[in-house]
Structure 1
Amino acid sequence: MEPLPNSGTDADGSATLRVLSYNIRSMRDDTDALARVIRGCAPDLVLVQEAPRFFRWRKKLARLARACDLVVLTGGATAAGPAILCSLRASVEHTEDVLLPLTPGLHRRGFATAVVRFAGTRLGVLSCHLSLQKDERYEQGGMLLDRLAGMGVQHAVAGGDLNERPDGPTFRRLAGRLTDCRTAAPWGGEHTWTPTGPYQRIDAVFATKGIDVLGCGVPVGHPGVTEEDLRTATDHLPVLAALRVPAV
């Protein structure tokens, strides 16, 4: 498997970024393996789902970021689970945690969002974990698109656990307006659930039009990422994308 391009900045100010989307199951599994997987992917941005939300959740998330040579950008309990970690390459303009409307009897959902700069680029970022219920999930997909459109940026990336396969209505709704990075430039593995016997893709990274997708997939065989760590870190496999974001 060809390695993904490393992070960097071009002479025109455009930036090559590595974006990782990962459901970490509230760090209830092997946290050392989890940190090794994230660190091995060398991401600039980590779009986290199921970040710790209860007792000492900030300390747990900060501990994970520190183990991965990253910092906590936003999210966690304040976004009902989604969070964003970033490298020190990022200059942060704005962060906002968004709670979505609560459907009685269902879990609260939310978005972790930020606007960041890398060299000459300006990028909106959103991490999500959509509903298990079909109709609510479809409405949340529309809210995601509206949120990206209202961030005041030309380029944006969104990722998360969609709880739906690519042929589902919400996945298709997002892919109709955004670039499904895995479809645009397949790389690595495809299926994200379950780690011990992956058979479906329910996690994804999307980018707005104009961002060049250099590769996207599960980092199976990636240097520094072992299959054993992928199996024991959490109950999802991560999605790693390399993107070239034009300068603004």
Structure 2
Amino acid sequence: MGVRVGTYNVRGMKDDVPALVRVITAMRADVLCVQEAPRLLFWRGRRRELAEAAGMRVAAGRRLGGVAVYVSARARILHAESHVLKIFIGLEIRGMALAVVEVDGLRLAVGSIHLDLDAAARMQHAVEAIALVRAAATRFGAVPVIAGDLNEQSAEPTWRYVAGQLADCYPRAPRGDGMTFTARQPRKRIDAIFAGPGLDVVSCGGAEAVAGDLAAATDHLPVVADVRVTQVTGG
């Protein structure tokens, strides 16, 4: 039983949209966390069109916060909710899109986040996001998963906090160098997928997409993680 989870900052679809569609299609994700989804004029239609062009559909996400969860035809949507996280005066409004989905009998409570450039706001929003995803996971008997753009790297406090609550998938089964920003000159890993107990990470890394499309689609590189139910062996 395997599920592919992805995360991708699409920069408001301001770049090469056909390349973006090709990259999302190449990701072959069952569940895709999107950041910087369109949130201005015709935002619902633009999000839906992007999802459908890549063979997916929108499961969760509202305008504020610019985050969404897309799912493939394999995924059954059990529940969806969207949250505005604590508002800090003078900073961008941040949110979380959360969908509980079932793929081949495996239930996941998946939250898409895009954390702030401000360190205090990042930590506050991460704490909120973890609590919300865990609550949904408990309610539906699902495994919690958080994915998105953390706007910091793995040695920094908020990343360490999230990785202390849920497993950072990339170090568990790395594929490639893991760098996600910038797309043209990737030197930082600021986008990640974190999974709760009960899942084995088979592999985690970049998408097998055309290099030119990856550079043209947006300013981030996507991340995909293949996960499966932890295999319990008898003694």
Deviation string for 1:131-158 (max 9, x for gaps)? 1100110111111211122112341211
Match of residue 53, structure 1, among 39, 43, 46: 39
Matched, 1:160 2:148: yes
Provide the residue aligned with 2:168 in structure 1: 180
Matched, 1:212 2:200: yes
Alignment RMSD (CA, Å) = 1.3
* Structure 1 residue 125 displacement after superposition: 0.7
Matched, 1:92 2:80: no
Unaligned segments of structure 2, at least 5 residues:
none
Match of residue 17, structure 2, among 28, 31, 49: 31
Matched, 1:245 2:216: no
Query: What are the within-5 Å matches in structure 2 for residues 1-248 of structure 1?
Result: 15-77=1-63, 79-151=64-136, 152=138, 153-219=141-207, 222=208, 225-245=209-229
Which amino acid in 1 is paired with 2:187?
Y
Which amino acid in 2 is paired with 1:201?
R
Are 1:131 and 1:162, in contact at CA under 8 Å, matched by a contact in 2? yes
Distance in 2 between residues matched to 1:18 and 1:137, nearest whole Å: 26
* Structure 1 residue 245 displacement after superposition: 3.3
Q: Number of aligned pairs?
A: 228
Change (3 A) 1:154 1:70: closer
Deviation string for 1:184-209 (max 9, x for gaps)? 11013311000111111000000001
What is the TM-score normalised by the length of structure 1?
0.89
Deviation string for 1:61-115 (max 9, x for gaps)? 11111110111111141x4211010011111111000001110000000000011
What is the TM-score normalised by the length of structure 2?
0.94
Q: Percent of aligned positions with the same letter in both sequences?
A: 42
SS in 1 for 2:178: coil
Provide the residue aligned with 1:6 in structure 2: none
Which amino acid in 1 is paired with 2:219?
D
Distance in 2 between residues matched to 1:96 and 1:76, nearest whole Å: 9
Provide the residue aligned with 1:3 in structure 2: none
Bigger Cα displacement from structure 2, 137-146 vs 178-187? 137-146
SS in 2 for 1:150: helix
Are 1:155 and 1:245, in contact at CA under 8 Å, matched by a contact in 2? no
* Structure 1 residue 246 displacement after superposition: 5.7
Unaligned segments of structure 1, at least 5 residues:
1-14
Distance in 2 between residues matched to 1:157 and 1:126, nearest whole Å: 6
